[in-house]
Amino acid sequence: MKRRMAGTLLQSKGMKSFGRYGAVGFELLASIAVGYYLGHWLDGKFGTRWIAFVGFLVGCYAGFSALFRTAKQMQRDIEREEKLERGEDPWGDEDGARDVDDEPTGEALEGRTAEAEPVTRERP
């Protein structure tokens, strides 16, 4: 029974990733096509021949920007999964952001006065 559940969990996890990242190719092609055909339509309206090329370039830029943004997100997700497998805290202080534990407690706040300067800590 456990083996079946584990296989189902892994399968659903894979399908979730496929759904999340599977549309990237379509998004790339769609943005290029929309840019080109919008430029082609504008060429017909204004009697020019260069707007379609500009639309194609803008579509390429938009599509590849989305592709690289998704690739970065995928890399972060993979690193988070690897940290979980190793038993580490995947949401730890990876980018220098302050944790909830870094906030001053009620006792520390009681000792401050209104005129006191806030205490700052240096980060390594």
Q: What is the pLDDT of residues 64-118, one digit of tens each?
A: 999 999 999 999 988 988 888 888 887 776 555 554 555 555 555 555 555 555 5
At residue 19, the pLDDT reads 77
pLDDT at residue 118, as a whole number: 55
CA-based nearest residue to 122, from 98, 101, 88: 98
Nearest residue to 34 via CA among 4, 9, 57: 57
Burial of 55 (0-12, 13-18, 19+ CB in 10 A): buried
Burial of 39 (0-12, 13-18, 19+ CB in 10 A): buried
> DSSP H helical segments within 47-114, as ranges?
51-86, 106-110
Residue 7, pLDDT > 80, answer: no
